[in-house]
Amino acid sequence: MFDIDKWQEIIATIRKNKMRTFLTGFSVAWGIFMLMILLGSGNGLKNGVSENFMRDAINAMWFWSGETSIPYEGMKEGRQIRLDNDDYELIKDLPGIEFTSGRYYINGNTFSYGSEYGNYTAITCHPELKEVESIEIINGRFINQIDINETRKSVVLGKDIYDALFKNKEAIGEYVRINKIPFKVVGICKESGGTRHRNAYLPVSTGQKVFNGANRLNNFALTINATTIEESRAIETEIRELLGRNHKFDATDRSALGSYNKLEDVIETMKIFTAINIFIWIIGIGTLIAGVVGVSNIMLIVVKERTKEIGIRKAIGASPSSVIGLVLLESILITTIAGYIGLVLGAGLMEGLNFIVEQQYAASAATNGGNGETLFRNPTVDLNIAIAATTLLIVAGAVAGYIPAKRAARIKPIEALRDE
Amino acid sequence: MIKIENLHKSYITGSNSLHVLKGIDLEINQGEFVSVMGSSGSGKSTLLNILGILDNYDEGSYYLNGTLVKDMSEKKAAKLRNELVGFVFQSFNLISFKNAMENVALPLYYQGVSRKKRNKIALEYLDKMGLLEWAEHMPNEMSGGQKQRVAIARSLISKPKIIFADEPTGALDTTTSYEVMEILKEINEEGITIILVTHEHDIAAMSDKIIRLNDGVIAEVIKNGDLKSWQNQYTKEVEAIAI
């Protein structure tokens, strides 16, 4: 294998037939190049979509109240359902539930600090919302249980609100007016995975008290510790039935109690991506096989062309195995080098594309109020796949060379040397 | 050295079977210089191929240097060829993308001799053929005679016991042919058996023994004594032409 003479023999033949070698290699390089681009694109699409998903915990679930649309136990439809703190306490302790947060909607969203003001969304919540929506604290803290218990007028500002009102001044400890009521800033946060941070978070108890909510809650956000669609559906149904009993509505009434089960969506979407991935591999390997068949074909012609030479070699004592080695190694050498070039070019192109995508993402984030939406991110292929592809190439080279090599070994010197 | 008994060989092409050798008995001793003559189709090249283990035979037996050569594996045949036998062909059969030295050194490559060593030996043999300054030249830069001398050097480099020459002068002019024959005779004087296939009488006349094949059987064997007069006669004729 590492016999320098053998390599010199092979390199001499390759050098003798540059065009033929180039064309052979090109088909393989192209195959690998396409495989890299396909895989990279698939990854990019997957990463882009996943990123949009990951803004909240993937096992999150939401419930919100509305009007009944089905008559229930003698009561007409069109009845308003009101959830409250008791429901929160019940749901919080159900098995399979990790974190639960209730929210009471408050009207009007004018935020002001000194002479600066703006309209933003104020969300009342429990401390657990941080886990459910994967909120990232960049300064200070999130709402805590003491805020809830003592109904403190604390607020955690989204980064965009902070930027607009405070313009880089120290904000922690300062008071922001929300609908003319002063709230003390305890933290600055970012919404995970997103680029828009225009929400402010208040303790739910304070919201209820200050904005006349009594014990009412409008929705629940929670995370569950389920891993399959079936488990998450079971939990969803359990909560719907529980709330249905307490508030007297049909558990299947989606108008009375709306719900959204994220895990279900995530699992379904990931299934699609797995399918896309399989599809990409099939196409990629198909392209590669076309390349390998090309190499095999050209090697057959090479053997035919070299019949006389191989005959001479055999007449002066070349063993069949040395002839096989000659053809096989040439095939492997061409496929590996050409394939590697295709691999590097493909990976390089995807890295370049990644650079452009990231720039556009940053640009759109800058112009669109920090809202850089994209369906395509990080379209690159990881190292393991590149290594697997290289191994595949060497095997492909061996396969491509095998039949021609066998044919070369069968050449009879006398037939090869016959003068015609 | 060579002993064959009742050798038969047929070629099957499609549905036709062509019986080329129809029972040949032959014995050649170490150091002999034998030519095989015959019209085309008489089976002389086939016989040479079988003797050189380039082809197999159907019936009979063939002993080379005491070993029975029959249904040999390709690998074993390749080894025997490499060690015992050298070939010289009508069309030289040099490898076109290798220079003279590399062509000559090739048999030693298959014996596993290192590159440096085999190239050194190849240069010695090229020197013997008077082609030292042509060592780096490619075959297509050389004349026919030079190419044949490179081919002879290649056949000698593995120190074979027998050289098979298939029409070695067929593609050469008379003067060059005679030069090549001189070289072959010198090799023969060093004790190497030479078996030569030719259809030229003057070339055959330079050997010790002529085996004349006709339609797949040995028609006659002309020995030493008679040859001398043959040779004189042909030499005179050639001289006459030359003048």
Within-domain flag for A286? yes
The answer to whether the CB atoms of B75 and A412 lie below 8 A apart is no
B220: distance to nearest CA of chain A, Å?
26
Which member of A4, A311, A316 has the closest CB to residue B106? A316
| pLDDT value of residue B101 | 92
Q: What's the topology of domain B30-60+74-242? A: Rossmann fold (3.40.50)
The answer to whether the CB atoms of B52 and A315 lie below 8 A apart is yes
A12: distance to nearest CA of chain B, Å?
8
DSSP string covering B51-112, please? HTTSS--SEEEEEETTEE-SS--HHHHHHHHHHHEEEEETT----TTS-HHHHHHHHHHTTT
CB-CB contact of B148 with B168 (8 Å): yes
Which residues in chain B touch residue A409, judged by CB atoms under 8 angstroms apart? 74
Within-domain flag for A323? yes
Within-domain flag for A126? yes
My answer on whether A20 and A150 are in the same domain is no
Report which of B128, B241, B230, B229 is spatially closest to residue B174, judged by C-alpha positions: B241
Give residue limits of the domains in chain B.
Answer: 30-60+74-242
Average the pLDDT over each of A294-298, A322-326, B95-99 and give the range with the smallest value.
A294-298
Within-domain flag for A72? no
Q: What is the DSSP letter of A320?
A: H
| pLDDT value of residue A369 | 46
CA nearest to A413 within chain B: B54
The mean pLDDT value for A312-340 works out to 86
Q: Which of A188, A218, A248 is the last residue of a domain?
A: A218
Report which of A285, A291, A323 is spatially closest to residue A397, judged by C-alpha positions: A291
Could you give the CA distance from residue A173 to residue A187 in angstroms, rounded to a whole number?
9
> Which amino acid, one-letter code, is at A105?
Y
User: What CA dihedral angle connects A102, A107, A109 and A111, to 10 degrees?
Assistant: -90
CB-CB contact of B160 with B83 (8 Å): yes
Which residues in chain B touch residue A313, judged by CB atoms under 8 angstroms apart? 95, 106, 110
Average the pLDDT over each of A249-253, A358-362, B204-208 and give the range with the smallest value.
A358-362
CB-CB contact of B1 with B162 (8 Å): yes
Q: What is the DSSP letter of B133?
A: G
B231: distance to nearest CA of chain A, Å?
29
Size of interface A-B (CB pairs under 8 A): 69
- Written as tens digits, the pLDDT of chain B (243 aa) is 889 999 999 888 778 888 888 989 999 999 999 999 888 778 888 888 888 888 888 989 999 888 888 888 888 888 888 888 998 988 888 988 888 999 999 999 888 888 889 999 999 999 988 999 999 999 999 998 899 999 999 999 989 999 999 888 888 888 889 988 999 999 999 999 999 988 888 888 888 888 988 888 888 888 765 656 666 666 666 666 666
Which residues in chain A touch residue B48, judged by CB atoms under 8 angstroms apart? none
Complex ipTM:
0.83
Q: Which of A218, A241, A275 is the last residue of a domain?
A: A218
This prediction's pTM: 0.65
Could you give the CA distance from residue B94 to residue B105 in angstroms, rounded to a whole number?
12
The alpha helices in A249-319, defined as continuous H runs, are 262-305, 307-315
Residues 6+ apart with CB under 8 A from A171: A139, A157, A162, A165, A185, A188
Question: Bridge partners of A116?
Answer: A113
| pLDDT value of residue A127 | 93
CA nearest to A10 within chain B: B97
The answer to whether the CB atoms of A409 and B74 lie below 8 A apart is yes
Within-domain flag for A373? yes
| pLDDT value of residue A198 | 85
**A420 CB within 8 Å of a chain B CB:** no
Pairing type for strands A181-191 and A154-158 reads parallel
Interface probe for A, chosen from B106, B111, B199 (most Cβ of A below 10 Å), is B106
| pLDDT value of residue B105 | 92
My answer on whether A289 and A201 are in the same domain is no
Phi then psi dihedrals of residue B35, to 5 deg = -110, 145
CA geometry: angle at A189 spanning A187 and A194, to 5°? 175
The answer to whether the CB atoms of B93 and A308 lie below 8 A apart is yes
Domain total in chain A:
2
Which residues in chain B touch residue A311, judged by CB atoms under 8 angstroms apart? 93
| pLDDT value of residue A142 | 93
Which residues in chain A touch residue B111, judged by CB atoms under 8 angstroms apart? 317
The answer to whether the CB atoms of A5 and B107 lie below 8 A apart is no
Interface probe for A, chosen from B20, B97, B103 (most Cβ of A below 10 Å), is B97
Averaged pLDDT of chain A: 84
Which member of A409, A414, A419 has the closest CB to residue B54? A414
My answer on whether A412 and A272 are in the same domain is yes
- Domain holding A311, by residue range, is 4-54+267-418
Within-domain flag for A147? yes
pLDDT over 90 at A132, yes or no: no
Which member of B74, B98, B154 has the closest CB to residue A316? B154
| pLDDT value of residue A315 | 85
My answer on whether A195 and A291 are in the same domain is no
